[in-house]
Amino acid sequence: MIKLVDKALRYLVLVCDPSILDKIKERLHGKTVYLDSSVIYRLVNLQGRKREKIIRDVVELCNEFSISLKISKMTLLELQRRISYDSSVLKKFNIPVSLQKIGYKYSTTENFITTYWYEGSKNGISVDDFINHYKNIDIILETEGIVVEKEFPVNHEAILSEANKNSSKMRQIIERNYRDKSDNAITHDCYMLEMVKHSRNDCQINFIDCGIWFLTTDHMVLKTQDVFPDLTINNLPLAILPSHLLQLLRFVRAKDDKFDEMFIDVFSTSTTFSSVNLSPYVIQEILGRLSKYSKSSKLAEKILTNSVFTKKFELTEKNEEREELVHEIFEDEYEILESEYEQNKQLLINKHHEVIEKDTAVSTLVDKMENITAEYENLEEKYTIAINTEETLASENTKFVKSNELIRKVLMSVYLLTIIIILMFILKYFFGWENSKFIATFEKIIVGLIFALLIYLGKVIGFDVNVLMKVFGKNEE
């Protein structure tokens, strides 16, 4: 039936006259939609932020079309029962923040427990504060503009009686699809179907004229009404999905990108991909029991990803046996981790020794480099001294050469002077030239030569020749 409604709505979008669409919009005004607990869980962000956004957009659309949103007292009780149970699991197996992150990482679906893991690991909210926030769920819903019925309808007993009769039918559908659901949840769903059915009348022959619907995200509810048409009136669906409601509103509302985005996202699921196929309840219990022995996130990951252990844990029903399983796996994994720790410790020690050896080698090289540097500086100093010594020797050698040259010139002058004197002596005493004019002239020449030689000798030895000239002048006078 729902599939036929879907096709009809798509057809209407293409061929329906705008004036007719306006009339349909008017006919939707004032309709009532009862929200299932699964819808409420999404609305208050207990099944993932993305799904919260979609349901919140659906609620805003209903408000735009003046569609009244309600939850029955039966749904309120179901919500309180679910929150109470989930709260008890959180408190019974409370886990530290380090393990909350691991729980959220390996969860395959999102619910009350996984929402706490996320909020606890991110914001540090305590279990008690988180539970107290959702404890008065009716007040939270009223602030969202949802009517919360505080009383059962007057025909409550009749509806409940029919719901109990129909519970077996829904149980067949659930088991046929390999699903699991509590008796209380089945009774609630059958009660809501029967309540919507009692609120309609036999004169309603089309979907739009139905003044009331039950909005749910549970496909098992829809399959039940499809397989057992006697649960409906005139084969008109009692329960619808958010996607059906969006399709109904889609062609009587101005089309925009936001509406298209909502329409696509509504088919998303709260299930996430993970290597661990465990429910949040099982993960919470395993981590809660494990936290009594260790708060190591690494150890928790190893245990959660141990498929042999998790399968055995799920099949074990007794509390004592489950505790023993966790204790055993803890000891086994702890021994493995301890062995790995020792191996890593030894590797670290070896690496430390290697580092020490390398440091020692580096220190030795540094010492050698310092010695080489010192030797180089010493050689450089010696080289400087040698250069200075060489310059000093060169200077002394220059002085020595000059001194030798001076001595040579002095000796030469003395030698010549001696020869002249000897020559004069020979001429005067042996040859008797003493009184000849030639001798007188020659004697003056010899004296001139002697005087010139003395002047030269004075210059050579640095004597003041002016003094010699004055002495010579006085002698002439």
Residue 271 lies in a domain: no
Instruction: Please name the residues in contact with 207: beta carbons below 8 A apart, sequence gap of 6 or more.
Output: 5, 8, 236, 237, 248
**Is residue 189 scored above 90 in pLDDT?**
yes
Residues 208 and 72 in one domain: yes
Residue 359 lies in a domain: no
Say how many C-beta atoms besides its own lie within 10 A of residue 369's C-beta: 10
Residues 427 and 313 in one domain: no
State which of 265, 289, 311 marks the end of a domain: 265
Q: Name the token pair of 230.
A: 């006697």
Pairing relationship of beta strands 212-215 and 32-35 according to DSSP bridges: parallel
Residue 309 lies in a domain: yes
Q: How confident is the model at residue 464 (pLDDT cuts 50, 70, 90)?
A: low
Residue 343 lies in a domain: yes
Residue 79 lies in a domain: yes
User: pLDDT for 69-114, tens place per residue?
Assistant: 999 999 999 999 999 999 999 999 988 888 888 888 888 888 889 8
Residues 250 and 328 in one domain: no
Q: How far is CA 347 from the centre of its chain?
A: 28
Residues 257 and 231 in one domain: yes
Would you mind telling me the total number of residues written for the chain in this entry? Answer: 477
Residues 28 and 96 in one domain: yes
Instruction: Please name the residues in contact with 3: beta carbons below 8 A apart, sequence gap of 6 or more.
Output: none
Residues 53 and 140 in one domain: yes
Residue 180 lies in a domain: yes
**In CATH, what number is assigned to the domain containing residue 106?**
3.40.50.1010
Burial track 371-404 (b if 16+ CB lie within 10 A, e otherwise): eeeeeeeeeeeeeeeeeeeeeeeeeeeeeeeeee
Q: Do 304 and 102 touch, CB atoms closer than 8 A?
A: yes
Per DSSP, the residues of 169-192 read HHHHHHHHTT----HHHHHHHHHH
Which H or E run contains 404? helix 319-429
- Return the pLDDT at 427: 66
Residues 254 and 298 in one domain: no
Q: Name the token pair of 118.
A: 């996320």
Residue keyed to tokens 């489950």: 322
Q: How confident is the model at residue 363 (pLDDT cuts 50, 70, 90)?
A: confident
Domain of 329?
Answer: 280-349
Mean pLDDT (the chain) is 80
**Is residue 278 scored above 70 in pLDDT?**
yes
Residues 260 and 287 in one domain: no
d(CA 107, CA 102): 9
Residue 391 lies in a domain: no
**Is residue 36 scored above 90 in pLDDT?**
yes
- Return the pLDDT at 131: 92
State which of 240, 265, 290 marks the end of a domain: 265
Residue 252 lies in a domain: yes
Q: What does the DSSP 8-state code read for residue 17? A: -
Instruction: Please name the residues in contact with 240: beta carbons below 8 A apart, sequence gap of 6 or more.
Output: 2, 213, 214, 215, 216, 222
Count of structural domains within the chain: 3
Instruction: Please name the residues in contact with 146: beta carbons below 8 A apart, sequence gap of 6 or more.
Output: 35, 59, 69, 70, 71
Q: Do 294 and 330 touch, CB atoms closer than 8 A?
A: yes
Higher pLDDT: 250 or 123? It is: 123
Residues 285 and 206 in one domain: no
**Average pLDDT, integer, range 431-457:** 65
Residues 125 and 165 in one domain: yes
Higher pLDDT: 25 or 90? It is: 90
Q: What is the pTM of this model?
A: 0.64
Residues 103 and 47 in one domain: yes
State which of 232, 265, 298 marks the end of a domain: 265
d(CA 349, CA 343): 10
Residues 285 and 242 in one domain: no
**Is residue 455 scored above 90 in pLDDT?**
no
**Average pLDDT, integer, range 169-182:** 88
**Is residue 162 scored above 80 in pLDDT?**
yes
- Return the pLDDT at 442: 64
Per DSSP, the residues of 45-109 read TSS-HHHHHHHHHHHHHHHHTT-EEEE-HHHHHHHHHHHHHHHHHHHHT---HHHHHHHHHT-SS
User: pLDDT for 394-431, tens place per residue?
Assistant: 888 887 777 777 777 767 777 777 777 777 667 666 66
